Amino acid sequence: MILSTRGRYGLKAMFELGLHYGKGPIPLKIIAERQCIPENYLEQLIAILRKAGLVKSVRGAQGGYLMLRPPDQVTVAQVLLALEGPLAPAECVADPEAPRCRLADECVTRSVWEKIRVSIHDVIDAMTLQHMIEEQLHLHAPTSKHPKE
């Protein structure tokens, strides 16, 4: 069970946008290059993110995309939900409206899926793009450089 490239590319793109938050729009081309994503494909993905209200676009020259909200208000869950649909191992726990299976009043495997779903959500609901950005800074600018001097 592996996420599709949609979710993987999409989160990378959002992360890139997060790094650039507050500094004006970034063109798709740059995002695609930096994160090794086929530009034409990313076009489709970012359209999904736009419709989901996570990014907005600025058309024309010097245009590009930017995040609507600050990175600490965007969770990994929101991004993945938009691109992959509900992150759950089975439909019966992904959608509260989904029909229960009719094997018995309650199906035991369902409770397994539910536990998995909850544990995934514990992680992705808690993790924001800001957390990712901080981790990036921590990893790539360790104690060796002085930020201001």
Q: What is the dihedral of CA 95, 98, 103, 105, to 10 degrees?
A: 80
Q: Toward a copy of itself, which CB reaches closer, 63 or 86? A: 86
Q: Toward DNA, which CB reaches closer, 41 or 137? A: 41
Sign of the dihedral through C-alpha 99, 78, 6, 124:
negative
User: What are the residues whose beta carbons fall under 8 Å from the beta carbon of 69, sequence distance 6 or more?
Assistant: 54
* Of 17, 23, 24, the residue nearest 49 (C-alpha): 17
Q: Which of 62, 119, 143, 144 binds DNA (CB under 7 A)?
A: 62
Binding of DNA by 24 (CB under 7 A): no
Q: Toward a copy of itself, which CB reaches closer, 47 or 112? A: 112
Residue 43: which of DNA, a copy of itself, none does it interact with, CB under 5 to 8 A by kind? DNA
Q: How far apart are the C-alpha atoms of 149 and 62, rounded to whole Å?
A: 32
Residue 41: which of a copy of itself, DNA, none does it interact with, CB under 5 to 8 A by kind? DNA
> Residue 47 Cβ, how far from DNA at the closest point, in Å?
5
Q: Toward DNA, which CB reaches closer, 40 or 119? A: 40
> Residue 61 Cβ, how far from a copy of itself at the closest point, in Å?
28
Strand partners, 67: 55
Between the two ends of the chain, the Cα-to-Cα distance in Å is: 47
Binding of DNA by 71 (CB under 7 A): no
Binding of DNA by 86 (CB under 7 A): no
Strand partners, 57: 65
- Which residues of this protein are in contact with DNA, per CB under 7 A? 4-6, 25-29, 38-41, 43-44, 46-47, 50, 57-65
